Chain A
Amino acid sequence: MKFLHTSDWQIGMKGSGLGEAGPIVREARIESAQGVLSMAKAEGADFLLLCGDIFEHNMVSQEEVKKIIRAFNEYDEIPIFLLPGNHDALGPGCVYNRDIFRNIAHLHILDSAEPVTVGDAVLHPCPVFARTTRHDSTEGIPDVHEFDGVHIGVAHGSLVGRFPVAEWEGVDLPINPSCVERTGIDYLALGHWHSQRIFEDRTGILRLAYCGTHEQTEYSEDDAGCCLLVTIDEKGATPTLRPLESGHLKWRSVEFAMKDASSLQELRELLNALRGVDMVRLSLNGELPLSSKDEFDKLLQSEELKKHRNLRVESRSMRIVEPFSEDTAVDTGDPTLNLTDARLRQQLADEVDPTKRMIIAEAITRLQVFAKEAEE
Chain B
Amino acid sequence: MKLHWIEVENWRQHSSKRIDFNDRATVIYGPNESGKSTIFEALSRGLFDKSSSSADAIQRIKPRTASRNVSSTIRMECTLSGTRYRIEKTFNLRKGTLLQKIVGGKSILLAQHDEADRQLIELLEAHLPTRASRPSNWGAFRWLWAPQDSRELPDNKDGDPTTCLHLETKDSPVLLVTPKFQFVLDRTRLCWSSYFTSRGQLKKGSPISELDDSIQILRSHEFELRTKMDKVNGDMQRLEELEQELPKLETKVSETKQEFAQARSEVVDLSSVESELEHATTKVKEAERDVSEAETALKQLKESEREVERLQVDQKKARDRVSHLEALCEQVEKGYKEKQRAVEAVATQVRQAEELTRDARILWTAADTSDKIAMVQKKIKKLTAIEKEVRLLRQQEIAVVPTSDEIVKLRKSDARIKALQETLAEIGLGIALSPGTEGSLDVMVDGEILEAGRLSATGIESVRISTPCLGHVVVKAELEHARDAKEDIASLTSAMERTLGKYGASSIDELQEMLTKQDEISKAVMKLLAEAKGIDERTLKDLNSELKKLQRKLEGCNTQERTPLAAQSNLTDGDLGKLVNRREKEETKARTLLDELREQRDKAGTDWMQKKEELAESRANEGHISENLDRVRNNERERIRSFGSIQHQERILSGARAALAKGKDEFERVRRHYDDLKRGPVSRVNRLEKQLDNQELLLRQHVSVMDHLRGAIDNASLEGTYTELAETATRLEALEERLESERMRAESYTLLKQELEDQYRSALSTLVGPIREDVVRTLSYATGFLHEDVELNEYLFPTRLGERGFDDVLLEFEDASSGLKELLALCIRVAIAKHLCDKDPQCLVLDDPFIHVSTDRSNKMIESINRAMQEHDLQLVVFTHRPMEFAGFEGGMICIQTD
Contact = CB atoms under 8 A, between A and B. Distances in A.
23 contacts: A12-B722, A14-B730, A15-B726, A19-B730, A22-B734, A56-B722, A59-B716, A59-B717, A59-B720, A92-B709, A92-B713, A97-B717, A334-B181, A335-B174, A336-B181, A337-B759, A343-B755, A363-B751, A363-B755, A366-B188, A370-B187, A371-B184, A374-B183
**Contact residues on B (Cβ < 8 Å of other chain), bracket:** 35 or more
A373 B187 contact: yes
Contacts of A340: 752, 755-756, 759
A320 interface: no
Interface in A214-235: none
Contacts of B176: 336
B451 to A, nearest CB: 125
Interface in A317-338: 332-337
Interface stretch (A60-68, A154-162, A278-286): A60-68
Contacts of B760: 336
A375 B719 CA distance: 61
Contacts of A343: 755
B184 A97 contact: no
A61 B716 CA distance: 10
B721 interface: yes
Task: Name which of B229, B714, B720, B756 has the most chain A CB atoms within 10 A of its CB.
Answer: B720
A343 B725 CA distance: 47
B717 A19 contact: no
A18 interface: yes
A308 to B, nearest CB: 15
B793 interface: no
B177 interface: yes
B755 A93 contact: no
B724 interface: yes
A89 B313 CA distance: 103
Interface string A334-376: 1111011001100000000001001110110011001101110
A313 to B, nearest CB: 11
B720 A60 contact: yes
B723 interface: yes
B722 A59 contact: yes
B733 A13 contact: no
Interface string B746-782: 0111011001100110010000000000000000000
Contacts of A63: 720, 723
Contacts of A339: 759
A60 B727 CA distance: 11
A44 interface: no
B717 A344 contact: no
Given A362-B745, A374-B187, 16 more contacts: A15-B726, A16-B729, A18-B730, A22-B731, A57-B723, A91-B236, A92-B713, A95-B717, A332-B180, A332-B184, A334-B180, A336-B176, A336-B177, A340-B759, A367-B756, A373-B187
Contacts of A41: none
A23 interface: yes
B749 A366 contact: yes
Interface in A1-53: 12-20, 22-23, 26
Contacts of A367: 184, 188, 752, 756
A98 interface: yes
B236 A92 contact: yes
Interface of B: 174, 176-181, 183-184, 187-188, 191, 229, 232, 235-236, 239, 709-710, 713-714, 716-727, 729-731, 733-734, 737, 744-745, 747-749, 751-752, 755-756, 759-760, 763
Nearest to A20: B734
Interface in A89-130: 91-95, 97-98
A367 to B, nearest CB: 6
- Which 10 A-B residue pairings sit nearest by Cβ, starting from the closest? A61-B720, A22-B730, A93-B713, A362-B748, A61-B723, A57-B722, A59-B722, A14-B726, A93-B717, A374-B183
A58 interface: yes
Majority SS at the chain A contact face = helix
Task: Name which of B239, B717, B734, B749 has the most chain A CB atoms within 10 A of its CB.
Answer: B717
B188 A370 contact: yes
Task: Name which of B236, B710, B725, B737 has the most chain A CB atoms within 10 A of its CB.
Answer: B236
Contacts of B727: 22-23
B184 A374 contact: yes
A94 B717 contact: yes
Contacts of B763: 336
Given A362-B744, A373-B187, A344 B180 contact: no
B270 to A, nearest CB: 52
A336 B722 contact: no
A375 B179 CA distance: 10
Given A19-B737, A359-B748, A371 B717 contact: no
Contacts of A98: 714, 717-718
A13 to B, nearest CB: 6
B723 A370 contact: no
B207 to A, nearest CB: 15
Nearest to B747: A359
Task: Name which of A17, A57, A332 has the most chain B CB atoms within 10 A of its CB.
Answer: A57
Nearest to B755: A340
A279 B549 CA distance: 135
Nearest to B729: A14
A362 B177 CA distance: 23
Given A340-B759, A360-B751, A16 B733 contact: yes
Contacts of B721: 59
Contacts of B184: 332, 334, 337, 367, 370-371, 374
B723 A64 contact: yes
A373 B723 CA distance: 48
Contact of B232 (A14, A93, A335): A93
Contacts of B229: 59
Contact of B183 (A22, A56, A370): A370
A363 B748 contact: yes
Contact of A26 (B191, B239, B726, B759): B726
Contacts of A359: 744, 747-748, 751
Task: Name which of A56, A333, A337 has the most chain B CB atoms within 10 A of its CB.
Answer: A337
A333 B599 CA distance: 131
B172 to A, nearest CB: 12
Contacts of A373: 183, 187
Contacts of A337: 180-181, 184, 756, 759
Given A362-B748, A373-B183, A374-B180, A12 B723 contact: yes
Nearest to B746: A359
Contact of A62 (B178, B714, B718): B718
A26 B627 CA distance: 110
A55 to B, nearest CB: 9
Task: Name which of A13, A17, A98, A366 has the most chain B CB atoms within 10 A of its CB.
Answer: A366
Contacts of B731: 22
Task: Name which of A12, A98, A359, A362 has the most chain B CB atoms within 10 A of its CB.
Answer: A359
Nearest to A364: B752
A84 to B, nearest CB: 13
Contacts of B232: 59, 93
Contact of A334 (B178, B191, B236, B729): B178
Interface string A191-232: 000000000000000000000000000000000000000000
Contacts of A363: 748-749, 751-752, 755
Nearest to A358: B744
Given A16-B729, A22-B733, A93-B232, A59 B180 contact: no
Nearest to B754: A363
Contacts of A335: 174
A61 B723 CA distance: 5
Contacts of A13: 726
A35 B177 CA distance: 67
Contacts of B723: 12, 57, 59-61, 63-64
A28 to B, nearest CB: 14
B759 A336 contact: yes
Contact of B719 (A16, A23, A59): A59
